Amino acid sequence: MAFELPALPYAHDALEPHIDAQTMEIHHGKHHAGYTSKLNAAIDGTDLANQSIEDILANVSKHGGGVRNNGGGFYNHSLFWSVMGPNGGGKPSGDLASAIDGTFGSFEKFKDEFANAAATRFGSGWAWLIVDGEGNLKVTSSPNQDNPLMDVAEVKGTPIMGLDVWEHAYYLKYQNRRPDYIEAFFNVINWDEVAKNYAAAK
């Protein structure tokens, strides 16, 4: 069974002015669509075609580079769209807020650590908030389209929020100003969705 490009859960211009409509159109309609079709081409006719994306990524070292890059790209962007929204921003509440305060000291300290991970990831990659094997929150980053579900990841866990720091995610609006894009991301984070991911992962 082939993987399907998930529909964006909001309009292309819904994240304006923080993330512009043209970037969203190209990012979802070209980049994410490309990862999805190339993943399907890479697994077509193999027994991976019957596995979940999580299972494929958990053993990605056994598969070719096409599965690693495009399987990661398929999964990462699907998560990315879902943790943003037009009514986003602010701070988390409930269990997730308590866990962030307990782990990082405060929301502001968490934000600094996440923003630093995103800003210092050299070249293309992702910043993550994950739940590790002990149920603890952790901030990490990964290169290219890798992610913490992969057996090759330096830091493993279940991603509950991810930020794409490839230039294709921000160049049209922010050019080389990645820190401005990272700050803008915090204005569109859908914390309710991240809290759901946290409850499911811990």
Q: What secondary structure letter does DSSP report for 152?
A: T
- Decide if 189 contacts 161 (C-beta within 8 A): yes
Residue of 113, 146, 164, 193 interacting with Mn ion (CB under 5 A): 164
Q: Which stretch binds Mn ion (CB under 5 A): 101-109, 122-130, 149-157, 160-168?
A: 160-168
Does position 193 interact with Mn ion (CB under 5 A)? The reply is no
Output 74 or 166, the one with its CB closest to Mn ion: 166
What 3 state SS string does 3-61 have?
CCCCCCCCCCCCCCCCCCHHHHHHHHHHHHHHHHHHHHHHHCCCHHHHCCHHHHHHCHH
Nearest residue by C-beta to Mn ion?
164
3-state secondary structure of 89: coil
The nearest distance, CB 169 to Mn ion, in angstroms, is: 5
Q: Which helix (H) or strand (E) holds 178?
A: helix 178-185
Of the listed pieces 38-46, 84-92, 126-134, 158-166, which binds Mn ion according to CB under 5 A?
A: 158-166
Q: Which residue, 81 or 166, is less far from Mn ion as judged by CB? A: 166
CB of 77 to Mn ion, least distance (A): 6
Residue 166 vs 185, nearer CB to Mn ion:
166
Integer CA distances (angstroms), 97 to 93, 94, 114, 128, in order: 5, 5, 15, 17
Contacts with Mn ion by CB under 5 A lie at: 164, 166, 169
